[in-house]
């Protein structure tokens, strides 16, 4: 018999500087993916009227924030970074409980989140705008960098703290107001981040949070007259739908979408280093990263040896709830995601793929109420198979073989996605060729596909994203507009 669940209460939404329920009092349960019997929190299921009020407050907050001196805005971000580090452990446990990451993974996410706010705050001491020569007598011309207005941030469940920070830090530094709508699976940590920013001194209205059904709220969110821009991280299907819905509206869109990232291992590679790196890149966070390695292309001459190394390392992974210190691999985020991942594996087996390790839900009774999938390697996967072409977003690595760098590059680029790719080799020529010809936004040699730092531009090509990069100084471009000003002071 399951013990009664203590009511965790409702985490309210931040609207106009106040924490509020929905107008009709309805709520959404947030479940623990390691044990779906546990409700770890509840959030309001907001109405369209609630959303309209949030945008009204955001517009008022924007008029204050845009006129706040840049150094003062940076001071708020710096204070937020300090509070994130101070509250790191408690915030990490929120990620563990609602998303399923291990405690170690969640602590890393919280730490990196603070880095975003520190990095963009540091830009307040950098040049901003330019002075330009002008051919007209007595005229000085300059460029002014301005915020775009009220931004809607739609964020996913897989990095539920880091992805909001990746968007909020540059948006707020540039002087915008933000309405953020987190995934219904992981809204609690977004509320924790909003409390940090409020405690750091962010003025009322500059940040608002919205939780509720996307189906119910989508038209109000995208159609609000105060909205200037939408930044979205999520599936390619939803991202392309947003493109269609915003087309012709004058509202800009930044989209960080799916990936089907490949890692190539050539015959001259350090196999021990490659195996250790691939395990983390493929199965860290249970494979639920847009930059996770999901395709492995290995030279025929070393494929057996590398697969033996990978099998051994996978067998040493320990599945379990993220709060258990012995756990190295947590659940996927939901029952639906678990079933989707298992369907991909079953389909690959029917199409001729061979399961090297894993391939099912774990047999242990202690895990039966959770959303667990055994870390899985499938060899003999061909380019026509769905497991090779479609994003799985789970702990599954598909493997095929190649002969040399040219064939490997052809396989890497045979994808509608173009987010990240990696190569393991000791050959400088192969390395240079790979960096030049891999059709992806992030390319790495003797490094994982995942793990890009906050000051490094991030974003993909093709069905992996839009033209606007995230992270680094390039990340400000989406949240800013350029005004050119010419002033004639003498005649």
Kindly calculate the radius of gyration of the chain based on its CA atoms and give it in whole angstroms. 24
Inter-residue contact 79 to 68 (CB < 8 Å): no
Query: What distances in angstroms separate CA 39 from CA 2, 5, 8, one per listed residue?
Result: 13, 7, 7
Q: Decide if 490 contacts 134 (C-beta within 8 A).
A: no
Whether residue 402 lies in the annotated active site: no
In degrees, rounded to 5, the angle at the alpha carbon of residue 375 between the alpha carbons of residues 407 and 284 is: 80
User: Are 154 and 232 in contact, with CB atoms under 8 Å apart?
Assistant: yes
Integer Cα distance of 477 and 7 in angstroms: 44
Q: Among 283, 276, 220, which residue's Cα sits nearest to residue 53?
A: 220
Residue among 133, 153, 154, 131 at smallest CA distance from 143: 131
Token pair for 479: 């949240």
DSSP state, 6? P
CA angle 95, 99, 105 (to 5 degrees): 55
CB atoms within 10 A of CB 190: 28
User: Where do we find the tokens 């210190």?
Assistant: 325
Q: How far is CA 348 from CA 293, 337, 357, 382, 405, in A?
A: 17, 17, 14, 9, 26
Assigned token pair, 137: 């007598």
Q: Is the dihedral of CA 188, 190, 191, 197 positive or negative?
A: positive
Classify residue 17 as exposed, middle or buried by CB count within 10 Å of its CB (0-12, 13-18, 19+): middle
Cα separation, 83 vs 193, in Å, equals: 10
Answer yes or no: are the C-beta atoms of 210 and 46 closer than 8 Å. yes
> 268 and 427 in contact (C-beta within 8 Å)?
yes
Q: Which of 178, 194, 275, 290 is catalytic?
A: 290
Q: How far is CA 314 from CA 275, 319, 337, in A?
A: 10, 11, 21
Provide CB contacts within 8 A for 488, sequence distance 6+. Answer: 136, 137, 138, 139
What angle, rounded to 10 degrees, do the helices at 70-86 and 88-99 form? Answer: 70
Q: d(Cα 364, Cα 382) in Å, to the nearest integer?
A: 32
Q: So which residues are the catalytic ones?
A: 290
């Amino acid at each position: 018999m399951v013990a009664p669940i203590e009511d965790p209460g409702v985490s309210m939404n931040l609207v106009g500087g106040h924490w509020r329920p929905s107008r009709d009092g309805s709520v959404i349960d947030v479940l623990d993916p390691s044990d779906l019997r546990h409700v770890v929190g509840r959030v309001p299921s907001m109405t369209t009227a609630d959303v309209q009020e949030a945008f009204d407050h955001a517009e008022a907050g924007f008029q204050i924030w845009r006129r706040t001196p840049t150094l003062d805005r940076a001071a708020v971000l710096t204070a937020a970074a300090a509070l994130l580090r101070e509250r790191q452990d408690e915030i990490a446990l929120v990620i563990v409980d609602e998303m399923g990451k291990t405690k170690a993974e969640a602590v890393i996410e919280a730490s990196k989140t603070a880095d975003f706010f520190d990095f963009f705050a540091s830009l307040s001491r950098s040049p901003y705008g330019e002075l330009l020569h002008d051919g007209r007598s007595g005229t000085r011309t300059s460029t002014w960098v301005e915020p775009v207005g009220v931004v809607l941030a739609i964020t996913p469940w897989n990095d539920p703290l880091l992805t909001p920070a990746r968007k909020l830090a540059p948006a707020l530094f540039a002087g915008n107001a933000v309405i953020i709508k987190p995934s219904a699976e992981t809204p609690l940590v977004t509320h924790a981040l909003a409390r940090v920013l409020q405690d750091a001194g962010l003025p009322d209205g500059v940040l608002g949070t919205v939780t509720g059904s996307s189906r119910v709220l989508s038209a109000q969110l995208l159609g609000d007259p105060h909205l200037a821009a939408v930044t979205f991280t999520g599936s390619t299907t939803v991202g392309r739908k947003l493109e269609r819905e915003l087309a012709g509206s004058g509202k800009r869109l930044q989209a960080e979408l799916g990936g089907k990232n490949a890692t190539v291992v050539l015959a001259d590679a350090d196999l021990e280093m490659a195996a250790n790196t691939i395990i983390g890149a493929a199965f860290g966070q249970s494979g639920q990263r847009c930059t996770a390695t999901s395709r492995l292309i290995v030279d025929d001459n070393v494929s057996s040896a590398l697969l033996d190394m990978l099998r051994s390392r996978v067998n040493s992974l320990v599945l379990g709830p993220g709060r258990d210190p012995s756990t190295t691999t947590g659940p996927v985020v939901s029952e639906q995601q678990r079933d989707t991942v298992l369907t991909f594996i079953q389909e690959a087996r029917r199409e001729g793929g061979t399961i090297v390790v894993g391939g099912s839900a774990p047999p242990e009774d202690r895990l039966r109420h959770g959303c667990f999938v055994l870390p899985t390697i499938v060899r003999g996967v061909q380019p026509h198979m769905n497991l090779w072409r479609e994003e799985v977003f789970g702990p599954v690595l598909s493997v095929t073989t190649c002969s040399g760098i040219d064939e490997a590059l052809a396989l890497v680029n045979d994808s509608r996605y173009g987010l990240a790719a990696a190569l393991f080799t000791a050959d400088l020529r192969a390395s240079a060729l790979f960096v030049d010809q891999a059709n992806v936004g992030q390319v790495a040699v003797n490094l994982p596909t995942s793990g890009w730092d906050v000051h490094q531009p991030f974003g993909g090509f093709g069905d992996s994203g839009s033209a606007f990069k995230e992270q680094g100084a390039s990340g400000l471009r989406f949240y800013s507009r350029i005004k050119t000003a010419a002033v004639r002071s003498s005649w």
